[in-house]
Amino acid sequence: MAITDVKQLWAAHYESIPRTVEEQGVQEAVRWILKRGPWTYNNLRRKWFSSLGIGEGTTLLQAGCGIGKSGIAEALLVGCQVTLLDYSPRALASAKRVVERLSVNHPELVSRVHFVQAGFEDLAFENCFDVTFNEGVLEHWFEDAERVEILRLLAKATKVGGKVMVFVPNQKNHLYRTRIAKLSAMDPSVPPEKAFTSEELRQRMEEAGLTDVRVEGFAPHLSFGGYTGFKALAFVAWLFQQLLPRRLFAAYGHRYGFFLVGIGTKR
């Protein structure tokens, strides 16, 4: 599926969302950004971004941002300059409302977050950002060549020596496969997706010219909450995972990771 097709499908999906549901999404995004706890998605995501040295003065691009939760969270928590890019004006409007709600208590946030309406192939940025990333985007292209092209476009916007980071669904996680089948049946307006294995993600990133690529399973305990709905079970799984030796946890994460995270360096 071409880049243009995917972006138009997502734009149509956002337009189909009722205004009441859209408002609920904004409220939930604000709660998500402010939520703390060592087991939470936001806290675990923060560790990955922190490992890249993101801080005040860092420039960050979230490409295909949707409501932009992770990018806005970085701007709020560490003071970096964040650009949120999406093809859908409706998605960006929701992201702007999230910033507006948070800026009531954090007025400095307004000057840290910038919005751009564009598609991947329209990116005018070149060698601009310290870190470029997206979450839940790359899997909506099925052909290897298309996936590599998206990664190349992300790398194009990144400074030499900067990092490209992607979060994608984990094909080996059977809980994900069951959940996505149910979601597709419930809401056919959501564009189809094809998940990755760790090996596939590493290969695509290397084919895009990225170096020092590492791929790891992200937050396997969240699979039990995000895909089954049993949040108490997710917390118990998190406690269990704290006891796993690191040598065993790596393989466990590749098998049960809620997402896979790939990080590569631009040459």
Query: SS3 sequence, 15-44?
Result: HHCCHHHHHHHHHHHHHHHHCCCCCCHHHH
pLDDT digits (tens, 9 = 90+) for 82-126: 999 998 999 999 999 999 999 999 999 999 999 999 988 777 889
Among the residue ranges 16-20, 32-36, 46-50, 142-146, the one predicted with the least confidence is 16-20
CA distance 168 to 137: 7
Tokens of 154: 């992300």
Supply the pTM of this predicted model: 0.91
Output the pLDDT for position 3: 65
**Domains of the chain by residue range:** 3-265
Output the pLDDT for position 15: 80
Encoded amino acid at 92, one letter: L
Output the pLDDT for position 85: 95
CA distance 43 to 29: 14
Query: How much is the average pLDDT of 38-63?
Result: 91
Query: How much is the average pLDDT of 183-198?
Result: 79
Is pLDDT of 129 > 70? Answer: yes
Output the pLDDT for position 95: 97
Distances from the Cα of 180 to the Cαs of 42, 171, 184, 238, in angstroms?
22, 11, 6, 22
Output the pLDDT for position 249: 82
Output the pLDDT for position 185: 67
**CATH for the 3-265 domain, from 2.40.50.1020, 2.40.10.10, 3.40.50.150, 3.40.50.970:** 3.40.50.150
Among the residue ranges 40-49, 70-79, 179-188, the one predicted with the least confidence is 179-188
The HSE-up count of residue 239 (CA atoms within 13 Å, CB side) is 5
Is pLDDT of 1 > 60? Answer: no
CA distance 7 to 150: 12
Query: How much is the average pLDDT of 144-150?
Result: 94
Q: What is the mean pLDDT of the chain?
A: 89
Output the pLDDT for position 231: 78
Q: Which of 7-16, 34-43, 219-228 has the highest mean pLDDT?
A: 34-43
Other Cβ atoms within 10 Å of 255 Cβ, number: 15
Element (H, E) at 160: strand 158-169
pLDDT digits (tens, 9 = 90+) for 3-15: 667 767 767 777 8
